[in-house]
Structure 1
């Protein structure tokens, strides 16, 4: 299996993980993300099984509905995806504590 196919499959599995965590059906998720109600369920199903991968704008809309950063879907490693998912669910105080805990690790330079 090619790396691209593996990433598409991971993308779909992560979408399903986040959808189930949010307690939404495929149709509900699609509609809330702005997909036509007549095709919402089929479209989300196609994303989840890896037949199709949405464009970045749709991924962002799905992430907003699911309360997770779109980066979660694209993370190449499962542990990184898990951190992104959890960080997105953390309160502001929890995020500050996490960043204090990681302060000894060099971050990217400021923009």
Structure 2
């Protein structure tokens, strides 16, 4: 999916979820009211893409993280919406859980890499003529 159409689809989905018209979104995002509806319409159709500062204002009005508009990974986009909905305390708890899982995985990986390689054609234990 092209970046512009990805941004367009996510912007429209977030606007509809929030229950705003194109005009309302534009005005709330500090776009001049005389061009607000037309600009949001152009963004949603993929004709134009906002600069990053405008995208940040749109995200703030729509209660989504700015990164949501840009990620190509659908799973990550959903995760970003979920993450954004968490309180600060819950974010810390989730981050600590993820870190613990990564640390545990890292320890398992280190343990596996410390095991000796099984005998095979690439080791000294290989029998001549069995390669």
Q: TM-score, normalised by structure 2?
A: 0.71
Q: Report the equivalent of 1:64.
A: 60
Q: What is the number of residues matched between the two proteins? A: 102
Q: Report the equivalent of 1:41.
A: 37
Where do 5+ consecutive residues of structure 1 fail to align? 107-111
**Does the alignment pair 1:50 with 2:46?**
yes
Q: Report the equivalent of 2:71.
A: 75
> Whose radius of gyration is greater, 1 or 2?
2
Secondary structure, aligned partner of 2:102: coil
Name which structure has the greater RCO, CA cutoff 8 Å, separation 6+. 1
Q: TM-score, normalised by structure 1?
A: 0.83
Where do 5+ consecutive residues of structure 2 fail to align? 104-131
1:90-105 equivalences under 5 Å are 90-103=86-99, 104-105=101-102
- Partners of 2:41 and 2:90 lie apart in 1 by 34
